[in-house]
A and B are shown apart, each in its own frame.
Chain A
Amino acid sequence: MSHYEAPIREPLIIGHKTYHDITEDIARPIEERAGKLWWISLYVALALFIYGFGCIAYTIGTGIGAWGLNRTINWGWDITNFVWWVGIGHAGTLISAVLLLFRQRWRMSVNRSAEAMTIFAVVQAAIFPVIHMGRVWVGYWVFPLPNQFGSLWTNFNSPLLWDVFAISTYFSVSTVFWFMGLIPDFAMIRDRAKTPWTRKIYTFLAFGWGGKAKHWQRFEELSLVLAGLATPLVFSVHTTVSFDFATSVIKGWHSTIYPPYFVAGAIFSGFAMVQTLLLVARKVCDLEDYITMYHIEIMNIVIVVTGGMVTVAYACEYFIAWYSGSRFEDFAYLTHGAATGPYWWAFYALIFCNLVFPALFWFKKIRTNIIATFILALIINIGMWFERFDIIVINLSRDYLPGSWTMFKPTIIDVGVYLGTIGFFSVLFLLYARTFPVIAQAELKSILKISGETYKAKEGDEHH
């Protein structure tokens, strides 16, 4: 009975696959030559990457005056992009860790790529605070290291330092979690390698894995405990990012709702990015039998739920602005509110992209439509960027002194750095899609007899 799952549940692997078919399907994108589309995408991504890093070099050479920041708005696109990328980086570990603890088998087809996305997104996120420091060569000062000031330590009371700990731990633990899961799959590629170089590279990466019973026992325990550790980590990271704002005394930021609101928003945007990438990857890598309509629909349901949480958080902010009677809250949300001020367009971009359009996923027809899912996922990505822009720029633009009120105009360098990170992210993801097993095939094989179409059909017949 270990291979039993209610026949009413939809199969997670369609097409009548065998274990060997799974090996072939997952190894194919690595072993075959890349198509034209992949090369075109890589060149476009590389062009953006090079342009963006040129802009970063210019910023480091001339100082952050190259950006559109001013004395009133001292956090602009940089921190907007930082929070946006960190948020995107939330879905991967959520899928692999939280859903592992809840024994959600559908995660097995998507966790590998979602984790890759997490790691690549956190790399992009880390770029922004580092270059925002201006003098990047003293960036190591953020760590509590003995120094020439005999030793003047970092301030552990500061949420900015908590953020250093949270982001760096999240990055390294996610990478370890991802790599440990990859080892048996690298071994599979190693054992069927045809050229000496491929064999050498995957032998290096597979660490000698042989699939011994004791090793699998330890592997499963390791995965479970890492998932247990990564789960509170996922929630702690964006909570800590929200503390950067919530523990400050800036109107509109000083808000106790921020931690849960940021976490929900992060998962919302992370899943939207997973959809954007996987809808393309499943087509290009020919993985429609593994990333099925059921996977797409269930991720859209997660988007609706987390989008709903974000909607409630927005409503709470407005309610509390009125109910608290605080002049600052009233100023930030009501009388001079985001909706009626000069940034009304950014506010409505947020409302439409994050609340109105994603609500279309309540309709089964829409959440099971690939084109609609792709478009809505892109819209959510844009909406979540505007959310961070609105929080940062709108609140800062209306300072405590009306004489300091101003607007933020991004320079070409601001735009370039942002596009550069999108390019860098895409380069990493495209290279990953050609060199790494994009689906956790060993795990997937373990559910073939539970959730594979052939076995489902058999069980269905037996039970009728």
Chain B
Amino acid sequence: MSTTKTIYGIYADDDDLMSGVKLLMDKGININEVYTPFPVHGLDKALKLRKTRISDAAFIYAVYGVTIGALTTWYMMNHDWPQNIGGKPAFQWGHNMPAFVVPMFELMVFCAAHMMSLTFLIRNKMYPGAPAQNPDPRTTDDKFMMEFKPSNDEEINQIKQILIDTGVEEITIKDA
């Protein structure tokens, strides 16, 4: 029989949680979400999560920052209002560029760091004052929680049994 129930399994220890995750994944049971108070080593691999592409995005932002730096320095120093400042070569960007390394570098870091952080917040659907995404407040303290959306009653029993076998502390079943 199909169901719309949600199962929450709460563990008191991260090692127990990991053995539970591994066993459930081996049995092909879909874990909807895992909430932990700290980054548990190896959890992302055990859950077979795809590698995050946030660092690839940071590289693109860094290239964008350097490009903005190069264009700004070229436009302001060599194109719009070129000046002879202390005899330094100011009429060709290529000649003048060594003096622009610092601002270009700073713009690279600035764009990469800020835009990457914004990407992180947007991808996680996080914003100031957003409601807490963890269903149980204890998961930011010392509890580790797995969340399941089982498709039928048989799966509910199977999940419950594995959770109990791997040392779960508390099981809650809610009607969605």
Enumerate chain A interface residues (CB-CB to B < 8 A): 2-3, 18-20, 23, 144, 151-157, 159, 161-162, 165-166, 169, 172-173, 176-177, 180, 183-184, 187-188, 190-192, 203-222, 224-226, 229-230, 232-233, 236, 240, 243, 442-443, 445-446, 449
Chain A residue with minimal CB distance to B47? A213
23 residue pairs from A and B, CB less than 8 Å apart: A19-B37, A19-B141, A23-B37, A151-B81, A157-B86, A165-B103, A165-B107, A173-B114, A191-B132, A203-B130, A208-B126, A208-B127, A210-B35, A210-B132, A212-B34, A216-B38, A217-B39, A218-B124, A221-B55, A222-B117, A225-B112, A443-B38, A446-B39
Most chain B beta-carbon contacts within 10 A, residue among A153, A210, A214, A217:
A210
Q: Does B164 sit at the interface, judged by CB under 8 A?
A: no
Nearest residue (CB) in A for B14 is A449
CA distance A190 to B140 in the complex (A): 9
Contacts A155-B85, A190-B132, A203-B130 aside, 18 further interface pairs with beta carbons under 8 A come to: A19-B37, A151-B80, A153-B77, A162-B103, A162-B106, A165-B103, A169-B107, A204-B129, A207-B130, A212-B33, A213-B49, A215-B133, A216-B44, A221-B54, A225-B54, A225-B112, A229-B58, A446-B39
**A-binding segment of B1-9, B94-102, B153-161:** B94-102
Contact of B110 among A152, A173, A214, A232 (CB under 8 A): A173
Q: Does B172 belong to the interface (CB within 8 Å)?
A: no
Residue of A nearest to B36 (CB): A211
Asked if A192 and B88 make an inter-chain contact with CB atoms under 8 angstroms apart, the answer reads: no
User: Are the CB atoms of B133 and A229 closer together than 8 Å?
Assistant: no
- Please, how many angstroms separate the alpha-carbon atoms of A222 and B100 in the complex? 28
List the A side residues contacting B103 at CB < 8 Å.
Answer: 156, 161-162, 165
Interface residues on B, range: 35 or more
Partner of B142, one of A19, A212, A218: A19
Instruction: Give 4 closest A-B pairs by Cβ, nearest first.
Output: A208-B130, A210-B133, A191-B137, A210-B134
Bound CA span A132–B44, Å: 52
Q: Counting CB contacts under 8 A, is B76 at the interface?
A: yes
Q: Bound complex: CA of A208 vs CA of B140, how far in Å?
A: 12
Collect the chain B residues with CB atoms within 8 Å of residue A159's CB.
Answer: 102
Please tell me if the beta carbons of B44 and A215 are within 8 angstroms of each other in the complex: no
Complex interface: chain B residues within 8 A of A176 (CB): 113-114, 117
Cβ of A386 to closest chain B Cβ, rounded Å: 28
Please name the residue on chain B nearest to A204 by beta carbon.
B129
Inter-chain CB contacts under 8 Å: number:
208
Q: Verify B54–A157 contact, CB threshold 8 A.
A: no
- Give residues in B with beta carbon < 8 Å to A: 14-15, 33-44, 47, 49, 52, 54-55, 58, 62, 72-73, 76-77, 80-81, 85-86, 88, 90, 96, 99-100, 102-103, 105-107, 109-110, 112-114, 116-117, 120-121, 123-134, 137-142
In the complex, chain A residues whose CB is within 8 Å of the CB of B138: 191
Is there an interface contact between B113 and A177, defined as CB atoms closer than 8 Å? yes
Chain B nearest Cβ from A117, distance in angstroms: 20
Q: How far is the CA of A346 from the CA of B132 in the complex (A)?
A: 56
The answer to whether B110 touches A157 (Cβ under 8 A) is no
B106 touches A144 (CB 8 A): no
- Inter-subunit contact A213/B36 (CB<8 Å): yes
Minimum CB–CB distance from B58 to chain A (whole Å) comes to 5
Assembly CA distance A143 to B129 (angstroms): 33
Q: How far is the CA of A230 from the CA of B114 in the complex (A)?
A: 12
Residue among A144, A152, A220, A446 making CB contact with B72, cutoff 8 Å = A144
State A144–B123 Cα separation when bound (angstroms): 33
Contacts of A240 in B (CB 8 A): 102
